Amino acid sequence: MESTKSDPVIAVALKAVSKTYGATRALMDVDVAIHEGTVHALIGENGAGKSTALGTIAGRVDFDGGVVEVFGEQLEPGNLRAARRSGISAIYQELTIIPHLDAAANVFLGSVLSRFGVLSASEMRRRYVQLCAQLEVGVVPAGVPAGTLSVAEQQLLEIMRSLVVDPRVILFDEPSASLAVEEREALYKAIEGLRKRGVTIVIVSHNFDEIERLADRVTVFRNGRAIVTSARGEHSRAELVRAMLGEQRGDQTLGRVLMDKPVEIHSRPVDSDASPILEVVGLSVPGVIENIDLEVKPGEILGIAGLVGSGRSTLLRAIAGAEPTARGTIRLSGVEQAWPRTVRAARKLGIGLIPEDRKGEGLVLLRSAADNIALSNLRAASSGGVIRRSKLRGMVAEASSKLNFPTARLGERSDRFSGGNQQKLLMARWLYDRPRVLLADEPTRGIDIGAKGELLESLRKMADDGVGVVVVSSELEEVLAVSDRVLVVAKGQSMGLIERTGDQQLAMEDVLNAAFGLKEIA
């Protein structure tokens, strides 16, 4: 029977799907129907089950009960190849880039182009350029080792890889989390173009603006269950938040997280006469950033704004001792120090870092959540050179509870947590061992709407306690909402400083004009 508007073709169906990890029920009798040629969003808190549901469709998760169907055909649980043969392509928040291979080789992993059985490098380069054009992002250099590219550029390679196999269904897990405004807009256009060509898109996202722009239908997950599925505009943003968090928590959250306007977290003016806790003069990293000056006062949050590739993350890494070729002058509380050449040297100066790549550079994934929180200061939980586990657990429990991290799971390995809970571990590390200066690179990447407000408030509270905080984020609205001042960088150079005047909000237009080089900051 031919389908009609009232009888759409079901591209993907989850029927009573369940999945248990030990004592944790990740999915419980989930029913979701995804229509062909639409964009269907899965939303919910970290750990609500949405990414696990995505994994069942991708063949990545061997679910315990129920059925997943792709265009009416039952999918074998946990079989990646079977899912791929069914036309499923998946892009995960965790990057699968091979660092030593060049960009083009990464795009064609598993789909090598050849002529007469011989690898055709020229054909792959030609197709690579076509894919870049399809995404409207410009050409990421094809011959550059992928490990040298930014996280955003690596994520674009993942997206291009998914397009190589001409999929019927593409699964996106937080695809825009590390992209700046320009790159994010290009991604949205690419997704809209795929939908017009009849490709079915399933997207996990915490970004409500993204969901409202792209999604034809939305399914809300809470505690492993699919709570409600609605068409575009059927439920308000406030109603969706309440469905995600429950009625009471939803009401509490609506007043303090990103809804129709930026988070209003800024709590008090910084003393303009206070001496800087951190001063950096003439910071340069060869080939990336040049001659950048900045200062941060106790109790201040300094935002760093710029497009992907502007050098904003390199700036933070250099101050944190993660860029050995960095040079410049650094002062802490007015005292000049030798430039930190290692992360350990920076820590001795009282500088902490939340890195952009939480899995590769932030966490020891095979260690417990408690161990990862205490990693910055194991001595505090030691006696006679021996770590006292009960003392450590008590100390980290206090820090993690401030972020609503489930303290009952502190003994679990860190690789078993959702991306958002992993990010909470990094923030809890610095609540446990407060630094003089905290550098936060993409601190809300992969964080759900409830946790996002909690984390930003934690940064503000640390600043209120006298810590100097520097924040880099692709979410420009968050930078403007939480920062006292914003330093704009473009092409590795400082474009100027935008300061808050009284209660006046920092203007996004001013930051974007400076970032694009359209207007100098007075």
The average pLDDT across 184-188 equals 79
Q: Is residue 171 part of a domain?
A: no
Q: pLDDT tens-digit profile of 34-52? A: 999 999 999 987 678 898 9
Of the three residues 238, 254, 270, the one that is the final residue of a domain is 254
Q: Is residue 179 part of a domain?
A: no
Indicate if 379 and 438 belong to the same structural domain.
yes
Indicate if 235 and 283 belong to the same structural domain.
no
**pLDDT interval class at 282 (50, 70, 90):** very high
Indicate if 244 and 293 belong to the same structural domain.
no
Indicate if 224 and 300 belong to the same structural domain.
no
CA distances (Å), origin 293, targets 69, 283, 331, 488: 56, 6, 12, 11
Q: pLDDT tens-digit profile of 2-31? A: 545 567 899 999 999 999 987 778 899 999
What is the full DSSP assignment across 181-203?
HHHHHHHHHHHHHHHHTT-EEEE
Indicate if 459 and 413 belong to the same structural domain.
yes
Q: pLDDT tens-digit profile of 350-384? A: 999 999 888 888 899 999 888 888 887 767 666 66
pLDDT at 251: 45
pLDDT at 518: 57
Q: pLDDT tens-digit profile of 74-88? A: 999 999 999 999 999
Alpha-carbon distance of 75 to 322, in angstroms, equals 45
On average, the pLDDT of the chain sits at 83
Of the three residues 254, 287, 322, the one that is the final residue of a domain is 254
Indicate if 331 and 215 belong to the same structural domain.
no
Indicate if 355 and 321 belong to the same structural domain.
yes
Of the three residues 254, 269, 296, the one that is the final residue of a domain is 254
Indicate if 338 and 207 belong to the same structural domain.
no
Q: Is residue 230 part of a domain?
A: yes
* Number of DSSP helices (H) and strands (E) in the chain, helices first: 17, 24
Q: Is residue 300 part of a domain?
A: yes
Indicate if 235 and 346 belong to the same structural domain.
no
Q: Is residue 453 part of a domain?
A: yes
Lowest mean pLDDT among 31-35, 106-110, 126-130, 257-261: 257-261
Residue 39 domain boundaries: 10-86+200-254
pTM exceeds cut of 0.85: no
CA distances (Å), origin 88, targets 35, 59, 356, 369: 14, 9, 29, 33
Q: Is residue 509 part of a domain?
A: yes
**pLDDT of 105 higher than 90:** no
Alpha-carbon distance of 410 to 388, in angstroms, equals 15
Indicate if 317 and 220 belong to the same structural domain.
no
Indicate if 343 and 434 belong to the same structural domain.
yes
Domain CATH number, residue 438: 3.40.50.300
Indicate if 243 and 388 belong to the same structural domain.
no
Q: Is residue 261 part of a domain?
A: no
Tally of structural domains, the chain: 2
Q: pLDDT tens-digit profile of 409-430? A: 898 999 888 777 888 899 999 9
Q: Is residue 180 part of a domain?
A: no
Q: pLDDT tens-digit profile of 53-74? A: 999 999 999 999 999 999 999 9
**pLDDT interval class at 470 (50, 70, 90):** very high
The average pLDDT across 465-481 equals 86
